[in-house]
Chains A and B, each alone.
Chain A
Amino acid sequence: MELITTPHLESPDDFYEALIETHRDLDDAESHALNARLVLLLANHIGSLDVLQQAMQAARGGVR
């Protein structure tokens, strides 16, 4: 399966607001830990190693 990179979010602005809100009042360390947990939860939801690898590559982008 191809990684979906075309618009797919039900409600982009609501999602973005919720993402930022999730981090409210956390210090940097707590926010980083939250992000790590979030990545793991979403990865399990996706399940497919192939799709996850495409996402990791896309996220890494042009970084060395």
Chain B
Amino acid sequence: MQLNELAARKGADVDYQKLVFDYTRHPDQDAAKPVRRPVVVVGAGPVGLALAIDLAQREIPVVLLDNDNTLSTGSRAICFAKRTLEIFDRLGCGDRMVDKGVSWNVGRVFFKQEQVYAFDLLPEAGHARPAFVNLQQYYVEGYLAERAAQLPLIDLRWKNTVAGVEQHDDHVTLTVETPDGPYRLEADYVAACDGGRSAMRQLIGQESKGRIFRDRFLIADVKMKYDGPAERWFWFDPVFHPNQSVLLHRQPDGVWRIDFQLGWDANPDEEKKPENIIPRVKALLAHSTMKDAEFELEWASVYTFACLRMDRFRHGRVIFAGDSAHGVSPFGARGANSGVQDAENLAWKLAGVLAGQAPDALLDTYADEREYAADENIRNSTRATDFITPKSEISRLFRDAVLELSKTQLFARTLVNSGRLSVPATLHASTLNTPDAESFAGRMVPGAAAADAPITRPDGSSGWLLRELGSGFTALVAEGAENDALARSIQDLDALEAPVKVLRVAISSNASDADLIDKDGALTQRYDLRPGSVYLFRPDQHVCARWRKPTAAQVKSAVKRALAIA
């Protein structure tokens, strides 16, 4: 099928795992000399699709190459975090994801049969999106592909495999293999989103380095009528799977993800056989309220993992995002989520550079910021993995001591680590931030991904802060004496390289002509707003500057700084 046929079938029962897209010969393949494109994205997985959509929404034409012609086979990544859902909202497919996905906020950790720790990842109200939805990767890719199909600026070419990369001062030349033979294609920039075994990475002679963990895990996705809660359950040393860990997640369509730790000595080929998986699932069920539940095996995989990354995510005009650039263990759901967050960081910067609003140096900040985020994700993932898979006798001794104490000692429960779940990195040290000159309370420091909050519009309708932010920069101006004049002068900054959307917010009820009203008080509290406070948000909804009472010149200077304009 063609991609646009998928858009037409939206809403119908689509088996996303069975879709096969047609290879179509592109006129570029017949061009006498290689055609130059602004951006080529390699890899149409969640990261490549998100990047292509974001760029197209920013009016940048994108060629998206995929070496295959199907979406994800098997559920693979299933936990999509709040920030990622907020990005999907911006990309125009958040509702699809959340409507289909299983929303959850609570995780429970058991030692043997006893709960020793529970966490609520979203303990406060006033957020549009839950902490997580569980959704099979083929749905995520399917919904992204449907959205991509609506955007004529995306030119998705199936069965196009990059086989050669030549870097030049002002462009990259790719050699692309197709069923009709190879062709050459030029790009101002190439984004390599081609996964953990990235061919792009190998083609430019780079590698991803780090720690490999000596342990094996079995994923069994099982379809069953089991009315368990929409929560993340994790067992250390359960009686039904002694001396190992087990993780249980609920997915849509009555599918349950069960992740069994097997140990390094397990034989992957044997463990993958249904006759060996089924007794493990039966043992789990035998210790639940669903002793005799009938189930069928949907998908199984035995995996090992490593925490690694490339030294640099930018190599000339080739920029790496997602698993091609970094890898983590699954405990913490930091793989696909950080990849989509890479894409969002890169999209506005590439668009700004290609539109001539920002210098090429802005792309270096993509690498700086996302390498920092990757380190944070790897640190969290490594810590969880060291707890789940202790690497030495002494490490195991302390792990077991923590679990033993956690039965009776509250403090020990905070040390139990079954995965610290994905939250967006706060880019504290980013050169794009304008450092605070005044004091603010709360978490919305320069570099933080914007926290959502409920808002009311002047017509009385309700909405969410994040959906009011513009696609470019946004200045949130809290009502105050001279603020109308300030709001007008920010709008009038015609010398600005990028326009700024101004949102005037009334933080008390007697506002006359505000754009937003904070009836709930959550916005004021989360951002520590006072009359006159101004927040500047980047196009990727990160705070980059804030003031108690700025001048328009200060706002302009912060926008330039956030565009890496020296």
Contact = CB atoms under 8 A, between A and B. Distances in A.
Interface of A: 32-33, 36-37, 39-41, 44
Interface string B15-46: 00000000000000000000000000000000
Nearest to B410: A44
Interface residues of B, number: 11
Contacts of A37: 401, 404-405
Interface string B214-252: 000000000000000000000000000000000000000
B264 interface: no
B404 A33 contact: yes
B397 interface: yes
Contacts of A41: 405, 409
B411 A36 contact: no
A36 B409 contact: no
Contacts of B404: 33, 37
Contacts of B412: 40, 44
A57 to B, nearest CB: 17
B112 to A, nearest CB: 16
B400 interface: yes
B402 interface: yes
Contacts of A36: 397-398, 400-401
Nearest to A34: B401
B415 A40 contact: yes
B405 A33 contact: no
A22 to B, nearest CB: 14
Closest 4 CB pairs of A and B: A36-B401, A44-B411, A37-B401, A36-B397
A33 B405 CA distance: 11
B397 A32 contact: yes
Most chain B C-beta atoms within 10 Å of own C-beta, residue among A32, A39, A40: A40
Interface string B408-424: 01011001000000000
A33 B411 contact: no
Given A33-B404, A41-B405, 6 more contacts: A37-B404, A39-B401, A40-B412, A40-B415, A41-B409, A44-B409
A41 to B, nearest CB: 7
A36 B412 CA distance: 12
25 contacts: A32-B397, A33-B397, A33-B400, A33-B401, A33-B404, A36-B397, A36-B398, A36-B400, A36-B401, A37-B401, A37-B404, A37-B405, A39-B398, A39-B401, A40-B398, A40-B401, A40-B402, A40-B405, A40-B412, A40-B415, A41-B405, A41-B409, A44-B409, A44-B411, A44-B412
Contacts of B405: 37, 40-41
Interface string B107-126: 00000000000000000000
Most chain A C-beta atoms within 10 Å of own C-beta, residue among B397, B400, B401, B402: B401
A37 B398 CA distance: 7
A37 B411 CA distance: 12
A19 to B, nearest CB: 17
Contacts of A33: 397, 400-401, 404
Contacts of B401: 33, 36-37, 39-40
A26 to B, nearest CB: 14
Contacts of A39: 398, 401
B400 to A, nearest CB: 7
A43 B208 CA distance: 36
Contacts of A44: 409, 411-412
Interface in B401-449: 401-402, 404-405, 409, 411-412, 415
A41 B411 CA distance: 8
A36 B397 CA distance: 7
Contacts of A40: 398, 401-402, 405, 412, 415
Contacts of B398: 36, 39-40
Nearest to B414: A44
A30 to B, nearest CB: 11
A31 B244 CA distance: 23
A36 B404 CA distance: 11
Nearest to A36: B401
Contacts of B402: 40
Most chain B C-beta atoms within 10 Å of own C-beta, residue among A32, A37, A41: A37
A40 B398 CA distance: 8
Nearest to B411: A44
Nearest to A38: B401
A9 B404 CA distance: 28
B396 to A, nearest CB: 10
A39 B412 CA distance: 12
Nearest to A47: B411
B417 to A, nearest CB: 13
Contacts of B411: 44
A32 to B, nearest CB: 6
A18 to B, nearest CB: 19
A64 to B, nearest CB: 16
Contacts of A32: 397
Nearest to B402: A40
A36 B403 CA distance: 11
Nearest to A32: B397
Nearest to B393: A32
Interface string B363-387: 0000000000000000000000000
